[in-house]
Amino acid sequence: MAVATSISPLGLAALRAISLRIASAKTVELPHIVASQVHSLKDCGDILSQSWSPQSGDAGAEVSLVVHRLLTQIASLLQGRQPEERWAAAVLIKAVVEAGGFEMLSRGKHWVSGLVGNLRRPDPSSSRALYAITLTRIFMLTWAFPSLVREMTTPALPQFIKTCLSNISSTSTTDKERRTVLECLLKLIPHHPTVFRSYIKEIQVVCDAFGGPNESGQHPPLDFPVTTSTRDAAARLGSIMHSCAAKQGSTSTWESSLSTIIVRCHEAADVVLAGVDEVSGSRESKKTNFQNNSSGQSTEYRVRSIYQATSQLNRLMHSLAGFIITDSGNVVTIAVPTIQGLLSRLLTVVVSQSRQLPKFNAGSSGEDRDACLECLPRIHVAALETACAFLQRFERAFDSLGPILIQQIGWLFSAEAVYADIRTACYSALKVILSGLGLSMSKELVDSLGGIIKHCCTDVLSKEQQAEKATLANSLTGGSKHSNGTSELSASQPAPGTSLHGLQVAASEMLEVILVSVPRLLLPDTIRSQIDRTAVLSGQTDLLVASVMNPSKRKDGKPAPSLLPFLARKYYSTSIVEALLRPRAPVLQSGSLQSDEESWPRAVEQTRMNTDTFEPPSLSNMVADTTLGKEPGPSELVQSSGTAASYESIPRDVKEVSDVQAGVKRSVDLMSESEVEPNNDSKRARETGAGDLDIAEQVPLIAAIEAMTDMRNGLQSLSGTESSRIDKEARPSSQQQPHTAEESDDDDFVVPDIDMDEDE
């Protein structure tokens, strides 16, 4: 424990102010005041992380008194009678231990016991979730100090686990608290396997209850709904229970648990697909046994068994996805063929539009068939989610499965596209597949996705945008009508009141991946036009940017229109649009920052000094030859220019230089006037067109003008005879056309007007 040697006046003042505000605040105001002071506590880490002794001088005694007063207030709030006091104590404890480190953790043993005791109180659910988060954070911070783990974490964990498991099974607990507790246990189990080993059965029961029905098919005694996020957290928690096994047994436990889940998935599928004549006959014997056992049962029993097996299969598939997506902690072996076989079996059973598939056995009743067909979409959604988890985990290692999954998803989508959950799962799965497989896709594979992409474009638009699009189409084409009077475009629209936010997000993400990953030449022009139209109508930034950054290429070689005007018009203030419209490097500034009035004369003078030595190579050689009385020949002129220009192009160059120098003179004259009145920014901006440029951007412009001024001076050194000689040598033919001198704005410099018709 190090003794502090320096004191931060700002940190001490902040601690004193925080302590004063907490002491003077009312109970109902504590949550608001404490929440606003958390950031100030984080800035006091240099004081809280050191040990202060009253014997270390006047300054050390003062700091020790302030810190002791704050810790005393926290302890008093932790034992308060009102929920607001205990909530404020939990927030302060979390901020103090994060800022103070070992010094504050070593004093936090009574804080841990107080927080565990508050978990048993009938406080609001959000407060209990905050207690669990604070305790988990304290336990995680002690991992770097074995002594604190031994003295504080290990003794407090058993009571913490019991209280948490008891709270999440209560009906008064909210879904957020359940998910928070499951996430906390998920963080702690890998680091404290021996402590959690005694609670494996209790945790497994909770995971099974939140994941769905148990093995017997009876629904668990839960009087509250379980959301998808809580179910996923329970699946991931159950997948890491193997880490609590004995030493060197976690790997074998994980592999055996995964194999057991796959076998149980097949058993549940045997019940659901008992009346289906599947293509593969690997499971026919067990399905026959189930049919023989249930042949004497009533129809209600068989239908109830199908629904229970469907729920069981969904829970097992989510558990399988949790095993795949969660880190195991050890090197494990995954039986990929068994997982692929399970997914293929579930995704192959598809109801065709002609009602010819799947084929049912002759002994299955109509009720069994209807129950099976009703449960198939839910099974397909679970299978697609598991496939997404599998591909996300292994990324590019199993790209060979991509074409097979795309083909199966195409069959599934064509049969069950009316279900929003099916479309959402298909879009999510295709997004993962195309992100890794897109660049290596074939033309046939891309063409097979045409129908899915069209549905995806429709799902991206909201109900209002779809209604506007349908109204516009009806006004233009008259809108074909059905027998019931509804238009054809609105036949597939969702019913009012349905929430399709997840569907829209999945559809937009899939379109973005298509624009980025799929080769542009493989996308048909009609599909690409529909995607661009959807991006404009929806107004989504990601879609517009993806379309602009990946322009389409037509087969005829003509450039396709860009969506950059739409993007710039709607999102002109975003940094992405700014980078697309003005792709320039930032200006590197050195020295102190100055105002425009102070930096302008200095920038002009520095630019003049840097450009005094500028001299174009070709003009300098020509001037030097004229000064020495030597007439350069045509070959020498070509060599002096430093380029491979032909002899006949010399007059054209002279004429272009003459046009440039006239504009240079006007710019220099305007710049001279602006230097006389440096504060007249509006006049200089209006005359030079640099009103939108700052000082750092005007310096390169001035340098260019000064350089071109030197070029004009070099041209002025050429005599009229030299210009005539150049003109004669440039036109060796006997037919000489008379020259008409054209005066520029400079009265002292005349450039001959050369007719370029013959050269052109």
Instruction: Indicate the pLDDT class of residue 6, thresholds 50, 70 and 90.
Output: low
Lowest mean pLDDT among 361-365, 383-387, 451-455: 361-365
What are phi and psi for residue 302, nearest 5 degrees?
-65, -40
Supply the pLDDT for residue 744: 41
Residue 741 host element (H or E): strand 740-743
Q: Is the pLDDT of residue 283 over 60?
A: no
> At 742, is the secondary structure helix, strand, or coil?
strand
Beta bridge partners of 559: 553
Supply the pLDDT for residue 758: 42
Supply the pLDDT for residue 146: 92
Q: What is the pLDDT of residues 624-662, one digit of tens each?
A: 444 444 444 444 433 444 433 333 444 444 444 455 455
Residue 743 host element (H or E): strand 740-743
Supply the pLDDT for residue 78: 92
Q: What is the pLDDT of residues 655-709, one digit of tens each?
A: 444 554 555 455 545 544 544 444 444 444 444 444 444 444 455 556 566 666 6
Supply the pLDDT for residue 229: 84
Q: What is the pLDDT of residues 163-217, one digit of tens each?
A: 999 998 888 888 899 999 999 999 999 899 999 998 988 998 888 888 754 444 4
Supply the pLDDT for residue 164: 93
Q: Is the pLDDT of residue 271 over 70?
A: yes
Instruction: Indicate the pLDDT class of residue 145, thresholds 50, 70 and 90.
Output: very high
Beta bridge partners of 487: 481
Q: What is the pLDDT of residues 559-589, one digit of tens each?
A: 778 888 888 888 888 888 888 887 765 555 5
Q: What is the pLDDT of residues 298-355, one digit of tens each?
A: 778 888 888 888 988 988 898 898 888 888 877 888 888 899 889 988 988 887 765 5
Parse the chain into domains and list their residue ranges: 245-399, 441-469+500-581, 597-753
* Spatial separation of the C-alpha atoms in residues 176 and 548, rounded to whole Å: 40
Beta bridge partners of 751: 742
The DSSP annotation for 605-665 comes to: HHHHHHHTT---HHHHHHHHHHHTT----HHHHHHHTTS---GGGHHHHHHHHHHHHHHHH
Instruction: Indicate the pLDDT class of residue 712, thresholds 50, 70 and 90.
Output: low
Average pLDDT over residues 619-627: 41
Lowest mean pLDDT among 57-66, 241-250, 268-277: 57-66
Average pLDDT over residues 3-21: 75
In 10 A of CB 121, how many CB atoms?
12
Residue with the bigger pLDDT between 244 and 611: it is 244
Q: Is the pLDDT of residue 361 over 50?
A: yes
Kindly tell me the sign of the dihedral angle through the C-alpha atoms of 627, 632, 638, 642. negative
